[in-house]
Amino acid sequence: MASPILISNPPPGFSLLAILRGFQLAILGAYRTLQNPSLLTQKYYRQSLIAIQASLVIQGLIWSPIILLRVLVKIAALATKSKGLDHVVASLKSFQFNVLNISVFLISGSRYFNKQLDDLFLQSLQFVDQVRKAKHPETERVYHENLVALSTDERITDNRPTFDSIKKKWATSQEFSAFMRRHINRTLMSVGAYFVSKIPFFGSVILGLISFLNLDGKIGTVNAAVIFGLLQLVPKRWAVLFLTTYWGSRSMLHDLLAPYFSRVRFTKSEKDQWIRSREGLLFGFGLCHYLLIRRAPWIGLLLYGFAESSVAYLVTKITDPPPKQVSQLIKWNSSQLVWNREKELDLLSGLFADSDEGFQPVPGSYIFHH
């Protein structure tokens, strides 16, 4: 008997195993980045130092209000002999880092004013192609050369973002305006969830409903209902953290895939279908990098660079090589929207860790298998 129309099934690509493989591919992709000799040059060492410096500046700017408020609270506490003001500082810190998460937004947005992340994606693709070509000289699986041939005419100039440059970029770049709208919507949802959690008695129920409505179409009604029930059993701040982490990791993954999506020219509906068919794997991959960046924001831009490089490796695992000609994209795009089941099962088996098309097996790769 067919399921009622109001009950959705999880997408074929969503499972706990797929999420686990996504985590593993995120770690393996970062490991492959460290193996890339092209990145072990003075140019990239310099860029790494600049990334660390930029991360420190970003965090310094973000932490400044917290530090200033702490000083003011200490002064007020000494004057009034009250200890309740410490709660204000803790609440602001949680709101700024767990709800707004400004640092990830700033790091993701930097790609539209600096071409280094795009170059890193292409450099990593080239390395994967070279390793495969060395092992299989007859292979026709080429990603870097084909994606370079599909590059758009839009040029990213290296400059510091100012109000005028941001305004101009918004008006001239569809990708940047879509990026801004997506992050504004995510921020509004996160802020809304935070204030909903402050509603007595019904706050947890409303948060559960928000999670159900967001997850129903992505992981299936039954799974969404289970999460709804679990959120009723945990403190409301955990429910808010769950929602903001889910939204943030999905949004960041979308940003990481920007160099790929911009070249294959998927429409919005095609992107959604492409992601849905690989939902579990992509969620695990994005969640791994998102948690690392949120855990170590002081080197967040450097970690984001590792994530971008890892995405290049991921793309070679979950897609077929694109064509060189733009005229061939329509037919090719339609073939990529639904993930090939045989290739999906092969990836979920975990054998990619010790039979990786020319790469040396990962130490301890046996733990990747069933």
Q: Which domain holds residue 67?
A: 16-137+172-346
The tokens describing 213, both together, are 């409505």
Number of domains present in the structure of the chain: 1
Using a 10 angstrom Cβ sphere, with 0-12 exposed, 13-18 middle and 19 or more buried, the burial of residue 266 is buried
CB neighbours of residue 277 within 10 Å: 21
pLDDT tens for each residue of 292-331 = 988 888 888 888 988 999 999 999 999 999 998 888 888 9
Give CA–CA dist 309/40, Å, rounded.
Answer: 14
Q: Is the pLDDT of residue 97 over 80?
A: no
When pLDDT is averaged across residues 213-219 and rounded to a whole number, the result is: 85
Whether 251 is covered by a domain: the verdict is yes
Whether 8 is covered by a domain: the verdict is no
Q: Is the pLDDT of residue 289 over 80?
A: yes
Q: Is the pLDDT of residue 195 over 70?
A: yes
Whether 150 is covered by a domain: the verdict is no
Its sign, for the CA torsion 280, 182, 253, 230, is: negative
Angle at 286 between CA 38 and CA 212, to 5 degrees: 170
* H helix or E strand, kind and range, residue 350: none
* pLDDT: which is higher, 211 or 217: 211
When pLDDT is averaged across residues 208-229 and rounded to a whole number, the result is: 88
According to the model, what pLDDT value does residue 31 have?
87
Mean pLDDT of all residues in the chain? 81
DSSP β-bridge partners for residue 359: 356
Whether 147 is covered by a domain: the verdict is no
Most confident stretch, 74-83, 144-153, 228-237 = 228-237
Q: pTM (2 decimals)?
A: 0.84
Whether 121 is covered by a domain: the verdict is yes
Q: Is the pLDDT of residue 34 over 90?
A: no
Its sign, for the CA torsion 336, 340, 344, 346, is: negative
* H helix or E strand, kind and range, residue 304: helix 300-318
Q: Is the pLDDT of residue 366 over 50?
A: no
Whether 50 is covered by a domain: the verdict is yes
When pLDDT is averaged across residues 241-259 and rounded to a whole number, the result is: 91
Whether 70 is covered by a domain: the verdict is yes
According to the model, what pLDDT value does residue 122 have?
92
Whether 178 is covered by a domain: the verdict is yes
